[in-house]
Amino acid sequence: MGLNNQWMQRDLAVLWHPCTQMKDHEQLPLIPIKRGEGVWLEDFEGKRYLDAVSSWWVNVFGHCNPRINQRIKDQVDQLEHVILAGFSHQPVIELSERLVKMTPEGLTRCFYADNGSSCIEVSLKMSFHYWLNRGQPDKKRFVTLTNSYHGETMAAMSVGDVPLFTETYKALLLDTIKVPSPDCYLRPEGVSWEEHSRTMFLAMEQTLAEHHDTVAAVIVEPLIQGAGGMRMYHPVYLTLLREACDRYGVHLILDEIAVGFGRTGTMFACEQAGITPDFLCLSKALTGGYLPLAACVTTDEVYSAFYDDYPTLRAFLHSHSYTGNPLACAAALATLDIFEEDNVIENNKALAQRMASATAHLVDHPHVSEVRQTGMVLAIEMVQDKASKTAYPWQERRGLKVFQHALERGALLRPLGSVVYFLPPYVITPEQIDFLAEVASEGIDIATRNDISVAVPSNFHPDFRDPG
């Protein structure tokens, strides 16, 4: 028995993995990773895998980055953790100062959580509580987009709309208002992204006009709906949304957990619309992919609604044990240093262009309906019929075939259903991008070559898809 198999058997005896049907591992080998370096992950038998999805979209400057490593090592000898209620520490103060300085103008206060889903919960609770403190208790509903994803805790699921994650728990979720997504994939032929996004905003305008008296906030993923299949839309939608939220007296929450920190081509996606949200949710790349940390950055107006004498009970009494952990803050500070010192955003433009040129040939593939891109995110959507964009039944798991082929070739490509995507660390080289394009092309050929016979259950839901 090889080393990989030994570790796999020990794992399967005791672990329950996230986002996984564990029975799959009766046929699909689990891959234990021993070490990482740059874009590469290496298993216990020395095989390497190029991490094309940044280990669930978190890693931006490579595995075991020496600059981030050193910052954490220095911090662990100084202070590993301290309660953030009534106490503070240098890394969290410095990180907060830098986030306030680099985020859009008007965002002045940082509230920390442990992960993205928790950060969304913070923003939702904070918005509702704001209106309660302001004497408007009826404003307690949230507006969200169809096909959106904001996490897997209860309130975060409530404002999501990917059935695979939400359908089972429907009875437990908040009553939210869902508005059609501005996703440009199904735009009419000849219609631009901007024109389609403007048209789709009409539904949001009507919803706010009818329901603003009871709505606390609108929450959206700016520019890219990640778990919804890397569907994308034009920044003009955000511009129109900010204006409408102001006009109707509704908060705007931007979930930049996946798309922040350079992923869309600017440091924050909302910069492309020239807007400031009331709440900006950040996580994932915040620590360079090292440690769990999230920040909900908000305004002085929101902060002031909670600032009062204790007996008024206006305080935001929300906490996490590891809030503002010094080690995570140290990793975040090192990550921000690299952004500042290495001209990352500008360098990414060349890498994004290479991603586009390396995959350009797939536009003509008979089973690829679209190759779409926003910054350092590129998605390739496989379909059974190109002309009508008819999707493959999700039960066929075409993306899984791409995933398996990529592993054989030494790449970690974890598709979202039939959507193959590149979301690599920013330290990837042009030659490594070419390699990923080659592997993806081969995998797509294999996955779309033959018909697959699957039994479709009576409760078939066409919007389900494999998780990424």
Q: Which residues are annotated as a binding site for pyridoxal 5'-phosphate?
A: 116-117, 255, 320-321
Cβ atoms of 224 and 377 closer than 8 Å = yes
Binding site listing for substrate:
56, 149, 284, 319, 414
Cβ atoms of 221 and 148 closer than 8 Å = yes
Binding site listing:
56, 116-117, 149, 255, 284, 319-321, 414
190: left (phi over 0), alpha (psi -120 to 50) or beta: left
| Gap between the Cα atoms of 301 and 278, Å rounded | 9
| Gap between the Cα atoms of 45 and 365, Å rounded | 36
| Gap between the Cα atoms of 393 and 417, Å rounded | 9
**Widest CA span of the chain, in angstroms?**
69
Among 172, 110, 142, which residue's Cα sits nearest to residue 316? 110
Strand partners, 231: 225
**Lookup: tokens for 172:** 């437990």
